[in-house]
């Protein structure tokens, strides 16, 4: 194999694969990126067996061929080269010689025979606008569980119907739900899949790289989801197992609705949260006549309270929440105002945007005993 | 209490009086001595000694398995008597307790007089021998009671602590074990008086322990559980149970049953203390005594048997080499007050488990530990054992089965 390629192209494509490549793997070849050259294009593939990214860039192919090279080492090196043309030549022992200007380096590789074969993308089922999926991921991914034991919660549910795309994530304490309108021709009935957190992150990367107006080709087979974004393809294995029945969790009656300034609520929650118990991060929300009072007293450092004026009279209630959970929502809500709905100390609170365009967003948080 | 378990056995069977008696097992089997009569102690038998060694030292001794339930009943009787003498009673083990007598003088007279009345009351109501030490600190009181044995009362007047301690050997100080003793011996220190003569720097190399030791030598409470007030509610740092198999085993069913049993005991103690745990640890010792501990931190604190068991099983599965196991242990750490966060998906189920386990706890209180339990634990024919003054620490007991 013998090619010439722009260093800037190579850096960009290698960068996309880095998130997938396993840092600590028991299978050495998975630390490598598969490099294939033919028909004027260079194709790079990285996988951790759960997730794979395939991307291509133009290259001058003198002699087609392939090899695998250590992904991190290759990127670290190429990144240091000036923006210029780079010649890459693979010898008999899978290692590559990289020449750029007066720099000349040999990088040890491994046979492509050991590199796992990625599933082939079936025919495109439907197209998803980049902006739609980016919005859905951004507003839900933070609620995905980190813990291993709740296996089905370590991914977000993606549910596509002919006229809507729904994404739901929960860690057992809170749940984020986005339902976006759209026209997904080609989908009959519904398509659903559990997307692992890592895949969500990678999907954000390749979708952002393509720009907001881009459409993503979506396809699925029995075990995989395929997202093609221009010259880049993300393949992820669906998580198996049953995602919880989120419909049951979304409150039918969320109680009293308060309209709050997002920045004001964020600042108050942050300040009071400084004095919450470090582990539980519990902050009390107390609804009184004309004010919402936030208070924390869990830490040895002291206690703090703050009140936000609200239009409310009549019923009083007091409920505790993990302040981080509240901040997580406020960080992704881009509107000036947010809705906070409270019922009682044992029922879930709900947060929403006042008037989202073209989608529904609900965030449900279970209270804490305080 | 003096030779508590043995004294209780003597009440049950007076013919044992004056004979070498060892409680812990029926003969030279695996396990350790949990108590020895004064006659047996003359042969060098003491608690925590392996039963086989005890048998070698004193083969003529009468070996008894013991009767934990009865010991607890008597312990409770003594406790009830003590409660009449002071509202501040700190029971540190099944046969040892501290009473804070401050402010009781008008009611009960001077401490020495009160101690004699307490001694008479315990004798009258249980017929068991006990010894009482009196001092201005728990340390002095404990050392007095050790010296007062058997069946005596000893008091050190305020101000006389240092003089009282000076001629005693350093090993008399609670917390000074064989290792510390030999380290001190290297420094030429054998008696507490010599410790008193040192400046604080000399013990600096023992760190925190050094300053606690210096305080102890002066007759003050210091270090570990001596730091808090008598009767103050103390939160254990961890709660653990462990068990040694009668015969080492690689039988996965028996091991699983044993883990389930241990989990049940740990979870029950969590609920008794009103505590939730976030870190679950297993301990695994193989035949060759290589020992592993592996822990997992949960997303949220729990006190439920099923949640702990699930974690314990996983830890075991991931770490067991398949070799024969000698000892298993389960520990719940990172203890906190009630778990605050309510669940979104399984709150109803958690509440159900909570109610179920509260009910089983009540059944066990009434009908004994084996009245009801996880089905998986039933295969484990674990025999309950308890020890006199195990480590003197709360939240730590050891079971040999």
Cβ of B340 within 8 Å of Cβ of A370? The answer is yes
* DSSP-assigned beta bridge partners for residue B333: B279
Q: Which residues of B touch A149 (CB under 8 A)?
A: 299, 310-311, 314
Chain B: residue whose CA lies nearest to A250: B344
The domain segmentation of chain A, as residue ranges, is 2-114, 126-247, 251-365
Of A255, A279, A259, residue with least CA distance to A342? A255
Nearest beta carbon to residue B340 from set A171, A249, A282: A282
Given the residues B96, B300, B369, B384, the one annotated as active site: B96
Annotation marks residue B96 as catalytic: yes
- Which residue would you say has higher pLDDT here, B395 or A168? A168
Is residue A264 within 8 A of residue A308, CB to CB? The reply is yes
* B-proximal residues of A, 207-266, CB under 8 Å: 244, 249
Task: Please tell me the predicted confidence (pLDDT) of residue A363.
Answer: 97
Span B204-229, average pLDDT: 70
pLDDT, tens digit, 9 for 90 and up, residues B145-170: 988 888 899 998 888 888 888 888 88
Q: Which of B345, B348, B350 to mutate to test the interface with A (most CBs of A within 10 A)?
A: B345
Residue B108 or residue A9, greater confidence: A9
Architecture of domain A251-365: Roll (3.10)
> Measured between CB atoms, which of B340, B342, B344 is closest to A346?
B342
Closest-approach residue (CA) in chain B for A323: B341
DSSP A115: S
Q: The CATH number of B239-379 is which of 3.30.1490.100, 3.30.365.10, 3.40.50.1260, 3.30.1360.200?
A: 3.30.1490.100
* Predicted local distance difference test score (pLDDT) of residue A270: 96
- Is the domain spanning A126-247 CATH 2.40.160.40? The answer is no
Convert the pLDDT of each residue in A87-137 to its tens digit.
Answer: 999 988 889 999 999 999 999 999 999 899 999 999 999 999 999 999 999
Find the closest chain B residue to A176 by CA distance. B344
Q: Do domains A2-114 and A126-247 have the same CATH topology?
A: yes
- Distance, first Cα to last Cα, chain B: 25
Per CATH, the architecture of A2-114 is what?
Roll (3.10)
Interface pTM (ipTM) of the complex? 0.76
Burial class (CB in 10 A: 0-12, 13-18, 19+), A185: exposed
Taking CB atoms and an 8 Å cutoff, what residues of chain A touch B300? 173
- Closest residue to B340, CB basis, from A150, A244, A320: A320
User: Closest to B342 (Cβ–Cβ): which among A149, A249, A368?
Assistant: A368
Q: What is the pLDDT of residue A194?
A: 92
Share of chain B above pLDDT 90, in %: 22
CATH code for residues B131-231: 1.10.150.20
Model confidence pLDDT, tens digit, residues A303-357: 999 999 998 888 889 999 999 999 999 999 989 999 999 999 889 999 999 999 9
Sheet containing B239-249: order of strands? B239-249, B325-336, B276-286, B291-302
**What percent of chain A has a predicted confidence (pLDDT) above 90?**
75
Which range, A74-88, B207-221, B331-345, has the best average confidence (pLDDT)? A74-88
Domain spans of chain B, in order of start: 4-66, 131-231, 239-379
- Residues 6 or more apart from A210 whose CB is under 8 A from it? A130, A216, A229, A230, A232
The tens digit of pLDDT for each residue in A22-38 reads 777 778 899 999 999 99
- Residue A269 CA neighbour count, 13 Å, CB half: 22
The arithmetic mean of pLDDT across residues B367-381, rounded, is 65
CATH no. for B4-66: 3.40.1170.60
Distance of CA A253 to CAs A212, A284, A338, A342, A343, Å? 36, 21, 18, 10, 8
What are the tens digits of pLDDT across the range B278-289?
A: 899 999 999 998
pTM here? Answer: 0.64
Restricting to A residues 261-300, those with a Cβ less than 8 Å away from any Cβ of B are: 279-280, 282
* B348 in contact with chain A, both atoms CB, cutoff 8 A: no
């Amino acid at each position: 194999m013998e090619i010439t390629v722009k260093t800037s192209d190579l850096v960009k494509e290698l960068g996309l694969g880095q998130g997938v490549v396993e840092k600590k793997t028991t299978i050495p070849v998975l630390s490598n990126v598969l490099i294939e050259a033919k028909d004027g294009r260079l194709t790079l593939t990285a996988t951790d067996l759960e997730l794979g990214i395939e991307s291509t860039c133009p290259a001058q192919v003198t002699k087609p061929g392939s090899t695998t090279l250590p992904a991190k080492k290759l990127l670290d090196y190429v990144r240091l080269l000036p923006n210029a043309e780079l010649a890459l030549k693979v010898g008999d022992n899978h290692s590559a010689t990289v020449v750029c200007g007066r720099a000349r380096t040999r990088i040890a590789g491994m046979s492509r025979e050991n590199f796992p074969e990625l599933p082939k993308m079936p025919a495109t089922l439907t197209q998803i606008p980049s902006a739609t999926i980016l919005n859905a991921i951004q507003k839900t991914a933070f609620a995905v569980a980190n813990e291993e034991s709740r296996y089905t919660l370590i991914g977000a549910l993606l549910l596509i119907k002919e006229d809507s795309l729904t994404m739901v994530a929960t860690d057992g304490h809170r749940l984020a739900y986005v339902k976006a309108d759209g026209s997904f021709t080609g989908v009959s009935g519904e398509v659903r899949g559990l997307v692992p957190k890592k895949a969500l992150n990678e999907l954000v990367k390749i979708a952002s790289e393509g720009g907001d107006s881009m459409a993503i080709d979506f396809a699925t087979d029995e075990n995989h989801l395929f997202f093609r974004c221009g010259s880049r393809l993300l393949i992820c294995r669906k998580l198996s197992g049953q995602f919880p029945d989120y419909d049951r969790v979304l409150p039918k009656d969320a109680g009293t609705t308060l309209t709050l300034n997002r920045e004001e609520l964020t600042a108050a929650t942050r300040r009071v949260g400084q004095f919450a118990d470090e582990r539980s991060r519990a902050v009390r929300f107390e609804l009184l006549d004309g004010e919402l009072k936030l208070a924390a007293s869990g830490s040895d450092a002291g206690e703090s309270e703050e009140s936000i004026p609200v239009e409310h009279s009549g019923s009083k209630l007091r409920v505790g929440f993990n302040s981080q959970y509240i901040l997580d929502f406020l960080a992704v809500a881009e509107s000036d105002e947010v809705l906070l709905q409270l019922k009682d100390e044992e029922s879930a609170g709900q947060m929403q945007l006042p008037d989202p365009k073209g989608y529904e967003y609900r965030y449900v948080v279970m209270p804490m005993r305080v | 209490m003096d030779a508590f378990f043995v004294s209780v056995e003597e009440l049950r069977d007076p013919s044992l009086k004056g004979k070498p008696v060892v409680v812990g097992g029926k003969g030279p089997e695996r396990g350790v001595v949990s108590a020895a009569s004064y006659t047996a102690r003359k042969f060098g038998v003491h608690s925590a000694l392996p039963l086989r060694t005890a048998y070698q030292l004193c083969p003529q001794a009468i070996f008894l398995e013991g009767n934990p339930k009865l010991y607890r009943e008597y312990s409770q009787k003594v406790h009830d008597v003590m409660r009449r003498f002071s509202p501040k009673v700190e029971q540190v083990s099944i046969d040892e307790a501290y009473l804070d007598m401050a402010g009781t003088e008008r009611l009960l007279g001077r401490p020495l007089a009160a101690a004699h009345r307490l001694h008479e009351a315990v004798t009258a109501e249980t017929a068991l021998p006990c010894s009482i030490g009196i001092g201005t600190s728990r340390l002095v009181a404990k050392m007095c009671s050790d010296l007062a044995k058997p069946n005596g009362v000893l008091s050190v007047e305020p101000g006389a602590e240092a003089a009282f301690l000076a001629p005693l050997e350093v090993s008399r100080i609670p917390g000074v074990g064989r290792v510390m003793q030999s380290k001190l011996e290297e420094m030429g220190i054998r008696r507490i008086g010599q410790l008193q003569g040192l400046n604080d720097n000399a013990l600096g190399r023992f760190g925190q322990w050094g300053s606690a030791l210096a305080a102890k030598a002066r007759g003050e409470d210091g270090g570990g559980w001596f730091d808090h007030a008598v009767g103050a509610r103390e939160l254990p740092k961890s709660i653990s149970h462990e068990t040694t198999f009668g015969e080492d085993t690689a039988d996965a069913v028996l091991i699983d049953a044993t883990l389930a049993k241990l989990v049940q005991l740990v979870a029950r103690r969590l609920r008794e203390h009103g505590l939730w745990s976030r870190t679950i640890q297993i301990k695994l010792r193989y035949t060759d005594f290589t020992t592993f501990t592996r822990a997992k931190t949960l997303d949220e604190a729990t006190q439920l048997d099923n949640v702990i068991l699930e974690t314990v099983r996983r830890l075991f599965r991931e770490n067991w080499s398949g070799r024969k196991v000698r000892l298993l242990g389960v520990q719940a750490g990172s203890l906190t007050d009630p778990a605050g966060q309510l669940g979104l998906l399984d709150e109803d189920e958690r509440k159900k488990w909570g109610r179920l386990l509260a009910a089983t706890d009540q059944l066990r209180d009434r009908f004994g530990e084996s009245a009801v339990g996880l089905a998986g634990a039933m295969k484990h024919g674990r025999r309950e054992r308890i020890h006199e003054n195990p480590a003197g620490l709360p939240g730590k007991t050891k079971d040999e089965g």
